[in-house]
Chain A
Amino acid sequence: MKAMRQGDEGTRRLLLSVLVLVSPGMLSAQTIAITGGTVYPVSGPRIERGTVLIQNGRVAAVGANVTIPAGAVRVDATGKWVTPGLIHAGAGVGLNVSGLGGFSERGVQGDVTPSFSPAEGFNPAEPEIAVTRTGGITTGVMAPSGAFMPGRAIAVDLAGDRLEDMVISPGVALIVNLGGQSRNAGGGSRAGTMALIRRLFADAQEYDRRRADYRRDQIQELAAPARELEALLPALRRETPVVINASREMDIRNALRLVGEFRLRAVLAGASEGWKVAAEIAQAGVPVALNPTQDIPSFEGLGARLDNATLLREAGVEVIIAAGDGGGERGLRYQAGNAVRNGMSWDDALRSITLAPATAFGLGDRYGSLEAGKVANVVIWSGDPLDFVGFPEKVYVRGAETSLRTRETELLERYRQLPVVYR
């Protein structure tokens, strides 16, 4: 016990050293003017024959009448669609070897490990990162996996050779799971899990108020080691959101209870029965991250339905689409297309994979739209980004054009004429 308490300061130093990773990273110094395309800034109405000017890795200007500096690289996007890079808020890319079982870096053992950040398990060399870019995705928010309180999500820009050049934050949100998956952590009942959450949050606040007593061992036994309680504090101070996974209506209501009691900034995730509670979710100002094609009933969500996203949005809820399809992260845009198929407006669907996740995860001042000053993550599309006819033609991350060649490209080239001649 003593050793753990002495570890308190050490834990803080460790967290700080990890936070050093949140450096500006590498921003391209090149000046690029993307001209002639239809620009969808997301933060404002679309611009016909607009220009997006990129300087020093940032968006310098967006509009129909942008002065292009001498020496800028001009990219003709006439007839193309220009959008912010997409943000996948439910990604796992880089924390695995493809999707292979047994290689995941997403979680550690234990039910209560909120101090865990998977950042240093992220592999910039993972081939799936380039595959993900071919879906127009430039930023991933990767949550740790685990039964109950598995850690903090990271945000990463999806191009670069080193973690330091890619990571935006090693802790954009605290993850908490309600529902069937965390029953055991609470002793076998959802009610037990709720009680455990309240105890952890209350103990973290108590610990924070009484650090001196803690060091003198003048405090009651806490619900978790200090390093874990410490990791809850950013969320309890509203510096980061808490992502609460909850699908059943009752679990969503439990989540909203916690949001009210602890005045949390929260993001509901899953929420397959969110449509039943849409007004209350809107009232609480809680965004919802969901899979818009989830409609198969389970006892975690008998009311799953395809227009969940639409019904939530109509109630005034900020919707984040955060699901790859069977092919993984790169299919995010098709999920947004399916939300449109099932009633959402096209503009809202694009927002749900750009500005909505950026804002919910505290990155809205730097990401999610094409506005002067934002990080220059930009995609030029051959056609509608939400439909099958459109493909990314150029993907810029932090102002630099990235490669869209993947293992798949090389396999295609090798086998497009049969019989193959190996060299």
Chain B
Amino acid sequence: MARWSVPVGFGVLLAACAGAGAQASPQSPTPAADQAPETFSDTLSFMRPQYPSTYQRRPNPPVLIRNANVLTAAGPELRGISVLFQDGRIVGVGPNLQAPAGASVVDGTNKWVTPGIIDTHSHMGVYAAPGTQAESDGNEATNPVTAEVWAEHSYWPQDPQIPLAVAGGVTVAQVLPGSANLVGGRSVTVRLVPGRTAQEVKFPDAPYGVKMACGENPKRVYQNRGPSTRMGNMAGYRAAFINAEQYRQRWDKWLEERKGDPPARDLRNETLAGVLRGEISVQNHCYRADEMAQMLDLAREFGFKIRSFHHGVEAYKIADLLAAAGTAASVWADWGGFKMEAYDEVMENLALLQQAGATTVLHTDSPDGIQRMNQDMAKAYYAGLRAGIALTREDAIKWITANPAWVLGIQDSTGTLEAGKMADLVLWSGDPFSVYSKAEKVWNEGWLVFDRLDPSRQIQTDFNLGHARPGVGR
């Protein structure tokens, strides 16, 4: 029984997996890889590892950043302070840190250090540049419910958009299927490091998310076969989860009794059953306030939580409901008006969410926007201040670091500069709240993945070779 026990809830899953090896796939009924038999001849597919991460941290000497201004995303802004990291982990942030032997020392005078930026909503790798139809791999728009597809199976790690995001200080992103479908498929959380395969960049032990979409997109894509209305959308989610409930029951019964043949494996239901078990987080594209409220009730009907709404242009209208439900809002600073469900955009969306106590996240959904997330943070911060909403810089930095880490379920590993956390961090040329500041150095789990002053420390994808090098500015 223990072997097949359902993992604990989403929020603590990562801690539960920590130390169990990087290969564990978190969805049940698949066992952790270290429990898998040596040979697979006597097992079925569901017992074997499912596309496990093969990510390896790159070695890097210890680094001491001296005399910098630091936004840790876990406490007050600190001025003229040091940050030390070693072996991929933050050792400390404080006034009197000594450089260990072999450390590289970086002068942080008049510069800022923040955690690496995390985007909860990207389609890099699945809608890759140069943007041909041949690379359009983000929407399996063949059925309103395609919970069976996994974004990592489309992910192209040579997408030349990736190094541009790294140059903007981004270290981790959730890559999602598109929004054509009610249930679009599984997301994958990736580290923005070079890799030949998706597995090599897949964030170890990060829980899966599942993309769901409300509103205009699914009802437009399926208008001829249905759903063609918002009520049709709701009926579609409910039908899918009713099936998944039965699937989960069959499997749970078989796992407990181990009698007879196991039930037939069904990937669509496997993902949705993972949602019902609290192992797979719901990442829900949903613009309108009234629709988000319907989705919160859908989640109550089936007994799961929505981890984050995405593109919640109207989230400010129900910020209190989101705070009460414990559901985050991933939103833009000032992108709206491009379709009817985005008509009621306000630049104070993030500020109002923060004020109401909701988990506030700035996301991009854009290979352009992801390069300048600090700028969108600043835009939303100053818009809030101007409207008289009480905000701090410490709140705002969390919108692009600690809070998105929570949305991805990796908040115990990264997202803040605290001792023991992974050394995902950015050295900025100046105040990250200014348009003029640039990410100067970016470390991804302690490895210097980007140095603006050293072209040899800038990622070149295969696609870039033989073309003009991507311009990261000077």
Contacts and interface: CB of A to CB of B under 8 A. Distances in A.
A416 B352 contact: yes
Contact of B316 (A341, A415, A419): A415
A295 B471 contact: yes
A298 B435 contact: no
A302 B468 contact: yes
Interface stretch (A219-227, A235-243, A259-267, A323-331): A323-331
Given A307-B474, A342-B474, A416-B352, A388 B338 contact: no
Please indicate which of the listed interface residues B337, B367, B469 has the most CB atoms of chain A within 10 Å of its own CB.
B337
Contacts, number: 144
Interface string A288-310: 00000101111100111111101
B7 interface: no
Contacts of A100: 337-340, 343
B121 to A, nearest CB: 13
A205 interface: no
B364 to A, nearest CB: 9
Given A307-B471, A391-B386, A386 B435 contact: yes
Contacts of B433: 388-389
A69 to B, nearest CB: 34
Interface stretch (A80-88, A150-158, A196-204, A332-340): A332-340
B427 interface: no
B3 interface: no
A296 B336 CA distance: 22
A326 B369 contact: yes
B190 to A, nearest CB: 18
Interface residues of B, number: 59
Nearest to B323: A418
A420 interface: yes
A45 interface: no
Given A326-B366, A412-B387, A305 B317 contact: no
Interface string A40-65: 00000000000000000000000000
B471 A340 contact: no
B58 to A, nearest CB: 26
B19 interface: no
Contact of A302 (B130, B382, B438): B130
Query: Interface residue tally of chain A, by bracket?
Result: 35 or more
A334 B473 contact: no
Interface string A361-400: 0000000000000000000000000111101000000000
B81 to A, nearest CB: 24
A420 B317 contact: yes
Contacts of B332: 326-327
Contact of B338 (A99, A306, A340): A99
B372 interface: yes
Contact of A298 (B129, B386, B434): B129
A298 B344 contact: no
Contacts of A273: 468
Given A411-B346, A415-B317, A388 B356 contact: no
Interface string A59-82: 000000000000000000000000
Interface in B314-331: 316-320
Given A100-B340, A295-B164, A408-B347, A306 B463 contact: no
22 contacts: A98-B336, A128-B337, A295-B470, A296-B131, A297-B160, A297-B467, A302-B467, A305-B469, A326-B366, A327-B336, A330-B334, A334-B379, A334-B435, A342-B473, A343-B474, A386-B435, A388-B378, A388-B379, A388-B433, A416-B348, A418-B356, A420-B317
